[in-house]
Amino acid sequence: MDYPLVSIISINYDHPEVTCELLTSLRKITYRNIEIIVIDNASPNDDPAIIKQNFPEIRFIQSKENLGFAGGNNLGIRQSNGKYVLFLNNDTEVDPGFLEPLVAKFESNTLVGAISPKIKFFHSPDTIQFAGISAFNPYTIRNRGIGFGATDLGQFDSDYQTDFVHGACMMVPMEVIHKVGLMSECYFLYYEEHDWATRIKEAGYQLWYIHNSTILHKESISTGKVSSLKIYYMNRSRLLYLRRNIHGIQFFIALLYQLFISIPKNAISFLIRGYPGHFHAYHRAVLWHLKHLFSKQIHEQPTM
């Protein structure tokens, strides 16, 4: 096969040793034509200098402010030269041959707009995290991860279309990015890849899961598995996705569901379970939308 240039972008936010572990695994891959761009998102505690010191071959960019997942990746996109751009979480490690099947899918089908590999848990490498994602319920704004938590027995060993790709590892042609624009930066964390995937599908492209490409994901090292930070951004971003992507009568039904069922239920649940910090984070997520009820920035589509 030909080896078109692939730009690999990864975001670092504290924990530079984790990013170094990813870069060590990338040194072992068999694909011949890559550039690696690491964006440090203004790490507040851990000095990221060891990344460039240990891996002088990469392009290392330090942002003066924390731009979030979307903003950091957008900064990397603007520095990329590849035909394809691979977005790879810093808390992942890759199989040596993971990249060839991803490139081959794009090279064989011009309708493919974004893809993700099989993702398994790093600490339980026989357990699947991602083998595709179902469509959102337009009212609850929730979906289902295909294969999540299942033991990998080969039951997902075929390529197929998926409704969404996974932000821990997703690959997009630069041509598609020029057509649909960059990730929306109003999300900051979570749901930005779902929003982007929705725009890619609306532009007429397909999303695919690629079975014979595998990465391992350590998951939630930066935000914590059940942290208040994660509660805040996850719920804030879910409502953002609703406001940006659900329209017409479905929007009003979804809004009523969120206001009178989902939001009260979740808030009370945090209090009953004894998580006052999570309750306050959830409360702040809802208040953010009240404060930005008429903000035009919510509907902006960033371009190159």
**What are residue 125's phi and psi, to 5 degrees?**
-65, -5
How does DSSP assign the chain, residue by residue? -----EEEEEEE-S-HHHHHHHHHHHTT---S-EEEEEEE---SSS-THHHHHH-TTSEEEE-SS--HHHHHHHHHHHT---SEEEEE-TTEEE-TTSHHHHHHHHHH-TTEEEEEEEEEETTEEEEEEES-BPPPPTTT----BTTTT-B-SSTT-S-EE-S---TTEEEEEHHHHHHH-S--TTSSSSSHHHHHHHHHHHTT-EEEEEEEEEEEE---TTT-TT-HHHHHHHHHHHHHHHHHH--HHHHHHHHHHIIIIIHHHHHHHHHHTT-HHHHHHHHHHHHHHHHTTT-GGGG-----
pLDDT digits (tens, 9 = 90+) for 138-150: 999 999 999 999 9
Burial class (CB in 10 A: 0-12, 13-18, 19+), 234: middle
User: What pLDDT band is residue 257 in, cutting at 50, 70 and 90?
Assistant: very high
Unique residue bearing structure tokens 């406001």: 243
Residues β-bridged to residue 87: 9, 170
Give the mean model confidence (pLDDT) for residues 274-279: 91
Give the mean model confidence (pLDDT) for residues 224-232: 79
User: What pLDDT band is residue 112 in, cutting at 50, 70 and 90?
Assistant: very high
For residue 156, give the nearest of 181, 180, 120 by alpha carbon: 120
How far apart, in Å, do the first and last CA atoms of the chain sit?
30
Asked if residues 164 and 193 have their Cβ atoms less than 8 Å apart, the reply is yes
In the predicted structure, residue 288 carries a pLDDT above the cut 80: yes
The listed CATH number (3.30.300.30, 3.50.50.60, 1.10.10.60, 3.90.550.10) that belongs to domain 6-217: 3.90.550.10
Can you tell me the distance from the alpha carbon of 283 to that of 19, in angstroms, rounded to the nearest whole number?
33
User: What pLDDT band is residue 221 in, cutting at 50, 70 and 90?
Assistant: low
For residue 50, give the nearest of 4, 15, 90 by alpha carbon: 15
What local confidence, expressed as pLDDT, does residue 63 receive? 96
Residues 6+ apart with CB under 8 A from 254: 138, 139, 140, 141, 242, 246
pLDDT digits (tens, 9 = 90+) for 45-74: 999 999 999 999 999 999 999 999 999 999
Amino acid at 89: N
Residues 6+ apart with CB under 8 A from 277: 228
Give the mean model confidence (pLDDT) for residues 113-138: 96
